[in-house]
Structure formats: C-alpha cells, structure tokens
C-alpha cells in the first residue's frame, strides 16, 4: 500500500469497461477488490458471441459494441498497452453511408479500434490481475454498520452472501441500479431512475455465399437498420462472410416484444433490400435483443461517489454513450476513491 494506508475491501458490481477501469485503479494501489459479474465473461455490452471458440482464429460475432475510438490520453494509453498484447487492433474497413439507391463513402478521420480476436478481448486484457466472480448476479446490497453485504445468485442456483466490504461501486446500466439501491441509498437510485436506455435488436447473419458489396460497414439511412457490418472483415477474425445488423432505436422499441425469429426475418428482408443482395437460406441467423443498450439521456457527469457512505457509481449512463466515456468514468471514480483513501493518485 502506498502512503501506509489501510487496505480497503471493495465490491464492484458489473465487469463492463467502466467497472474494470475502476477496479484496475484500485488494485494498482493494493486494495482488495472483488468484481461481481452476472454473465459468463467480462465486457458488458462489448461481448463476443463465439460460434467456435476452438478454431484458430476462433469464429464469432461482435453482437454489441461494433468499434471504439480513443481521444483521451488515459484511454489511448490503455490501447497502447493492449495492442502489442494482441488484444486490440485498428480496423481499416471501408465504411459508407447507405440508402436505397445511394452509397457514398462515410467521411471520418477517426481511427476505429476493435478487440481481437473479438470485441470482448479488451475486457479480458483489462481483467488481468483482477478478482472477478463470474455468473454471480448481485441480488441485494445491504448496509450493516459501516460495512456492506451482498447477496449473490449463482449459476448453479445457489445463493451466497459476501460481507465485510468497506465500499461498493455500481457499474451496471441505470435501469439495474434502481432496484439494487432504492432501499440502500436513495440519492443514487433517484439519479438512475431519471436515465433511460435504448432497446436495440442485433442480427448475426452467416450467408451461404459471400455478399458482393464493396464496403465493410455502413450507416444505413431512412431504414429500420441503423448499422450493418461485415463482422469477418475486422482484424484477427476467422475467414468467411459474417454480418452483424443493428436495428435503429425507434424500430427496436416498436418491436421490443417480438420473437427473435420474427425480428430476424424482418431485418433480413430489409438487409436484402438495402444492399440489393439476395440472401437465401442463410447458414445461420440469430437475433439478440439488448434491453439496455445505449443511454438516451446520460447525466453528463464523469462519475458519482458519496464519501460518507463509501458508495460510488460509474458507467455510460453517467458520462456518455461511448466506450471511451465508460472507461473514463470508471477511471475517474477509481482515482476519486483513492483520493478519499489517502492513496497516491495515478496521473
């Protein structure tokens, strides 16, 4: 420990980019950090749906975040560490603006980054050295004196209680914050209650034959689809022709309660119409609904921390919808907590 301070035991709920960024700051200064994640792996909305993890390279889809950009020095430094480790790479795919009868190059000077061999690889890189409890859903948070206790629902159906935490960090979507903290810390619950997230339908598509189009990604205009991408064009991916289709927020909200099979057929029809390609009997087609994808009205604050209650929150619902925003939120919260613990700040 720096500065001779007492080691703190800290629980972080959520192993997305924000939660991992916060955990890294705290662990680097010797604190005892436990990250609890309900899914099978870290990454939050930067996942990879593996079709064949044993292949080399593995075959999969980025069915959440499609790429990310770096402008802030702290996030750029992380990517500079992750790139030589093979966890991220720049994606130079051709991206266009696409409409019915319209195709033009999408003009942007920004570098697009992706995880390699899948988007979740950045989160796995960030997870190195962290104590992460996977498939452990936090069902309750309780204050007992000056300590916190968590109730966990595990994948095998059992319930476990973890106690003795000096501080708790919440790094999950706003809609999941409210039921966890409305009886524990009303200010945080009220903040989260005012933020809402988009619903997004995504379709993972493997055609029988490669599509004859001259682009790798497209922002689709005046369509139920908002983005389409030749997922297999990203660096480190297995050969083949695999496409990821994302519906717009409006269309996804209107079709929120449709079955994945119905959504898949509708989005495939739109895809064929807008690209002018006929995709018959695809090898695979799976639709996934993101109930909480991107925040509609983030609070535009970097993070939240109540020193009196040793309770913090970070994530894109506070700071903004980009991956970099989520990282900076967790990074800032970690440093704010370190300052509170009288540890040396990482500059």
How much is the pLDDT for 5? 61
Mean pLDDT of 309-330: 96
Task: Record the pTM.
Answer: 0.93
Residue range 128-172, pLDDT digits in tens: 999 999 999 999 999 999 999 999 999 999 999 999 999 999 999
Q: Is residue 142 classed as helix, strand or coil in its secondary structure?
A: strand
Over residues 226-251, the pLDDT tens digits come to 999 999 999 999 999 999 999 999 99
Whole-number pLDDT of residue 346: 38
What whole-number distance in Å separates Cα of residue 198 and Cα of residue 88? 27
CA distances from 7 to 29, 34, 334, 342 (A): 9, 13, 14, 11
The confidence score (pLDDT) of residue 343 equals 45
Question: Mean pLDDT across the stretch 187-212?
Answer: 96
Q: What's the pLDDT tens digit per position in 325-345?
A: 999 999 999 999 999 997 433
When the pLDDT of each residue in the chain is averaged and rounded to a whole number, the result is 94
Give the rounded percent of residues in the chain with a pLDDT score beyond 70.
Answer: 97
58: pLDDT confidence band, cut at 50, 70 and 90? confident
pLDDT band at 1; cut points 50, 70, 90: low
Predicted local distance difference test score (pLDDT) of residue 244: 98
Q: What angle do CA 56, 60, 66 make, to 5 degrees?
A: 125
Helix (H) / strand (E) element for 125: namely helix 121-126
Q: Which residue has the higher pLDDT, 250 or 102?
A: 250
């Amino acid at each position: 420990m720096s500065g001779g301070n007492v080691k703190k035991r800290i629980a972080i709920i959520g192993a997305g980019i924000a939660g991992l960024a916060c955990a890294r700051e705290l662990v680097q200064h010797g604190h005892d950090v436990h990250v609890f994640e309900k899914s099978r792996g870290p990454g939050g909305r930067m996942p990879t749906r593996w079709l064949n993890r044993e292949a080399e390279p593995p075959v999969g889809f980025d069915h959440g975040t499609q790429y990310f950009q770096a402008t802030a020095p702290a996030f750029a430094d992380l990517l500079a560490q992750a790139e030589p480790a093979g966890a991220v790479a720049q994606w130079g795919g051709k991206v266009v603006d696409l409409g019915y009868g319209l195709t033009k190059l999408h003009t942007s000077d920004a570098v697009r980054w992706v995880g390699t061999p899948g988007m979740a690889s950045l989160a796995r890189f960030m997870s190195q050295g962290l104590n992460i409890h996977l498939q452990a859903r936090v069902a309750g948070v309780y204050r007992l004196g000056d300590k916190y206790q968590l109730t966990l629902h595990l994948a095998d159906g059992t319930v476990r209680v973890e106690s003795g935490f000096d501080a708790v960090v919440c790094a999950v979507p706003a809609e999941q914050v409210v039921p966890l903290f409305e009886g524990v810390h009303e200010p945080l619950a009220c903040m989260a209650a005012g933020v809402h997230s988009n619903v997004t339908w995504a379709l993972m598509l493997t055609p029988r034959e490669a599509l004859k189009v001259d682009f790798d990604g497209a922002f689709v205009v005046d369509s139920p689809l908002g983005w389409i991408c030749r997922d297999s064009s990203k660096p480190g991916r297995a050969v083949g022709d695999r496409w990821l289709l994302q519906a717009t927020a409006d269309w996804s909200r209107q079709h929120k309660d449709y079955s994945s099979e119905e959504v898949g057929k509708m989005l495939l029809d739109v895809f064929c119409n807008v690209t002018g390609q006929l995709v018959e009997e695809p090898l695979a087609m799976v639709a996934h609904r993101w109930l909480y994808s991107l925040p509609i009205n983030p609070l535009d604050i970097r993070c939240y921390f109540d020193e009196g209650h040793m309770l913090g929150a970070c994530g894109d619902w506070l700071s903004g919808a980009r991956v970099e925003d989520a990282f900076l939120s967790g990074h800032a919260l970690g440093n704010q907590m370190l300052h509170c613990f009288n540890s040396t700040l990482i500059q």
